[in-house]
Structure 1
């Protein structure tokens, strides 16, 4: 395999590993083999895009991601954005020190590594240890440890558009 192909392969693997490094995960997951399956893949080096299409499955350690389309965007050799779209796209991973997985689903899951930002759009849902967080948009800024959620498309910081709400169900401490 040529050096260019090895570098390309490394970039793709790095991008997908960001799912496990940006979100809470077992610290050992990043050292596990990465497996990507799809019906097809298209790599456009000039534009910096790689697109996996059709029944996309990504596994690494306890991380399991599924969707219809996975897009990796690069600028200057760095991963700018990783997006997975599905009906829904799903994410599952076991955090360090936890006995149960974090499960997330949305029509669109997006990771922006430079911003350390994870976004779930359209019918977003996160479940862990019986706690449930739903909304149309959920953003997690890992750098600043800030979560923002909106109940419906068109919602603003002053409130959601009519018809959509953010909902949380928090289990009592045992």
Structure 2
């Protein structure tokens, strides 16, 4: 039977102090809600394992996969590892902070494994990794590679197109691929109706200016 769980113990995956971030800042303080078919919690090891059609929401963050393991260290920092069903990819989505009046922006990512590190405030996508950024409903940027790391605090992305194992030749098609949209720049404001034009120099008014 599917269970809908709200866990005070797992109130947040990111317990680091709040800083200036581009991802949704309010997500840190939101409760974590997890829906799954089964749960196994080890209080001694401070781990919780959810299995079966797992969906985790925390503010604007959404994580989906077949298995989610949440671990808490001695200082209270928590991390989560989401694993996809065989042959599929796990899913991540988070809203980004934007200026008032600007279109909403979202970051979406997929990978066979997704690792969230609460201490470092990073999201790591492993194997067949893909990351997309949307402005409103428009796809803005798209990245793919073997490993993608998204740093929430600095809004930096790193992409590795090679195999994770050392001394292993890259597989065909394992190069980094990116599609980056140009940044939109606001147009200069139009002059108000009836606004005076540029002032004439005295020489221009007398016809003494240069041709």
Same fold (TM over 0.5): yes
- Pair member with larger Rg: 2
Question: Number of aligned pairs?
Answer: 162
User: Alpha-carbon deviation of 1:144?
Assistant: 6.6
- Larger mean Cα displacement after TM superposition, 144-153 or 21-30: 21-30
Partner of 2:170: 161
What RMSD, in angstroms, separates the aligned Cα atoms of the two structures? 3.0
User: Alpha-carbon deviation of 1:167?
Assistant: 0.8
Aligned to 2:119, the other structure's residue is in SS state coil
Correspondence 1:44-63 to 2 at 5 A:
44-63=42-61
Normalising by structure 1, we get a TM-score of 0.77
Inter-CA distance 134–57: structure 2 relative to 1 (3 Å threshold): same
The answer to whether 1:148 aligns with 2:158 is yes
Normalising by structure 2, we get a TM-score of 0.65
Give 5+ residue unaligned stretches, structure 1.
1-8
User: Alpha-carbon deviation of 1:89?
Assistant: 0.9
Question: Separation in 1 of the partners of 2:37 and 2:25?
Answer: 30
**Structure with higher helix content:** 1
1:155–1:161 Cα contact (<8 Å) kept: no
Question: Separation in 2 of the partners of 1:49 and 1:89?
Answer: 20
1:48-88 CA distance string (max 9 Å, x none): 22100010111233322111111012232623531111121
Partner of 2:23: 25
1:106–1:123 Cα contact (<8 Å) kept: yes
2:8–2:31 Cα contact (<8 Å) kept: no
Partner of 1:138: 148
1:68–1:84 Cα contact (<8 Å) kept: yes
**Structure with higher strand content:** 1
Inter-CA distance 119–170: structure 2 relative to 1 (3 Å threshold): same
1:107-134 CA distance string (max 9 Å, x none): 1111222233321101111111321011
Give 5+ residue unaligned stretches, structure 2.
1-6, 185-211
Inter-CA distance 173–77: structure 2 relative to 1 (3 Å threshold): closer
1:11–1:79 Cα contact (<8 Å) kept: no
2:53–2:64 Cα contact (<8 Å) kept: yes
Question: Separation in 2 of the partners of 1:104 and 1:40?
Answer: 25
